[in-house]
Structure 1
Amino acid sequence: MTTDTNLARDIYLRSHLVGEFHLRSGVVANEYFDKYLFESDPVLLKRLAEAMAPFVPKEGVDALAGLETGGIPLAVMLSQVTGIPTLFVRKEAKKYGTCRLAEGGDISGKNLFIVEDVVTSGGAVRDAVVELRERGAKVSQGVCVIDRESDGIQNLHALEVHMRTLFTMSQLKAAGA
């Protein structure tokens, strides 16, 4: 995790919403971080990528794998900061055209580093990792901006994916208070 409280505060101020929100995991939450609000801000997006860059290994990563949809802008900006190529990972392979799960290059035999915005249960990352591995990719690490502290990071460890996180929900809420 990072200790940049200014970045945490800015994410909170830009994207924290209160209401009733249905999450992908099936959970209903009374607060939500709208990732598209912080990902659509070019200055904040670059700051996020710069904060994520130290979590990317200096060697052994062939490509960043940005998960559809929220992980893609993060991965693109992180690619700009690190110089590592980016792949765009779909939720499911296209049924037309190239019929690929990941766009932007070959994945077979490649060491991929997952880039995601928010992890709750870890389900989206898990699904992507399983599909990428079935297609010959090697996936064991990644980074996300927000850990909702709902066991997602631990669930990914069980899949032998070490997912680092910039901030927990608790950290963001504390920074925004």
Structure 2
Amino acid sequence: MTDPDLDPTLAADIDAVARLHGTFTLRSGQVSDTYFDKYLFESDPRLLDRIATRMVELLPEGTELLGGLELGGVPIATIVSAKTGIPVLFIRKKAKEYGTAKLAEGPSFDGKRVTLIEDVITSGGAVRDAVNELRPAGAVIDTVVCAIDRSPVTGESLRDVDLEIRPVLTKAELDAVAQS
């Protein structure tokens, strides 16, 4: 099912720029013949702006902080922050071992509602890791907004950590424009 609010050319434009064909090992360990190279759409200022604009519409009410996941979620979260005025938290894959030794850089998130921002979700491993670290430290996290949900069953890959996925695009939507 296609989202009626979807920019009709966004899926086609992202697909044309970022879909690669070949043999790719994903972060999850899965092997795929299709890869969506987030850096190709994140490095295009017009596409990045269009993705961020759509993400603004997907943010849950009451979001107090945006959590950009390293590395791909950081540029998107920064643009969404600039559009909304909601402060951004930069979330590392692992806490650095020097300086502040923090997993998340930016304002305090204890007791705050944090909406995570991610680029591409397949199994949700990076998001799951962040949630499992940030919730015990006081973050209230119930939603992740992503550019592309390429999980086998849209929106289901993070049910085990009680997280709603709100994608700008799904793999099915991108596949549909690739076949047209």
Q: TM-score if structure 2 supplies the norm length?
A: 0.93
Query: For residue 37 of structure 1, what is the aligned residue in structure 2?
Result: 40
Query: For residue 17 of structure 1, what is the aligned residue in structure 2?
Result: 20
Query: For residue 168 of structure 1, what is the aligned residue in structure 2?
Result: 170
Q: Is 1:26 aligned to 2:26, yes or no?
A: no
Q: Is the 8 A contact 1:120 1:152 kept in 2?
A: no
Q: 2:101 aligns with which of 96, 99, 102?
A: 99
Per the TM alignment, residue 151 of structure 1 is displaced from its structure 2 partner at its CA by 4.2
Q: Secondary structure at the match of 1:5?
A: coil
Residues in 2 aligned to 1:107 and 1:149: alpha-carbon distance in whole angstroms:
28
Question: Which runs of 4 or more aligned residues in structure 1 lie more than 3 Å from their structure 2 counterparts after TM superposition?
Answer: none
> 5+ residue gaps in structure 1?
none
Per the TM alignment, residue 152 of structure 1 is displaced from its structure 2 partner at its CA by 7.1
Query: For residue 135 of structure 2, what is the aligned residue in structure 1?
Result: 133
Residues in 1 aligned to 2:27 and 2:45: alpha-carbon distance in whole angstroms:
26
Query: For residue 7 of structure 2, what is the aligned residue in structure 1?
Result: 4
Per the TM alignment, residue 3 of structure 1 is displaced from its structure 2 partner at its CA by 2.3
Q: Secondary structure at the match of 1:13?
A: helix
Distance 1:85 1:108, change over 3 A: same
Q: Is the 8 A contact 1:111 1:139 kept in 2?
A: yes
Q: What are the Cα deviations for residues 64-108 of structure 1, in whole angstroms up to 9, with x where unaligned? A: 000011111110011111111111100111111001111111121
Aligned residue pairs total 176
> 5+ residue gaps in structure 2?
none
Query: For residue 151 of structure 2, what is the aligned residue in structure 1?
Result: 149
Residues in 1 aligned to 2:144 and 2:123: alpha-carbon distance in whole angstroms:
15
Q: TM-score if structure 1 supplies the norm length?
A: 0.94
Larger mean CA deviation between 157-166 and 25-34 belongs to: 157-166
Residues in 2 aligned to 1:95 and 1:7: alpha-carbon distance in whole angstroms:
40
Distance 1:105 1:66, change over 3 A: same
Per the TM alignment, residue 110 of structure 1 is displaced from its structure 2 partner at its CA by 1.4
RMSD: 1.4
Residues in 2 aligned to 1:151 and 1:94: alpha-carbon distance in whole angstroms:
34
Residues in 2 aligned to 1:6 and 1:152: alpha-carbon distance in whole angstroms:
21
Residues in 1 aligned to 2:151 and 2:108: alpha-carbon distance in whole angstroms:
33
Q: Secondary structure at the match of 1:154?
A: coil
Distance 1:151 1:122, change over 3 A: farther
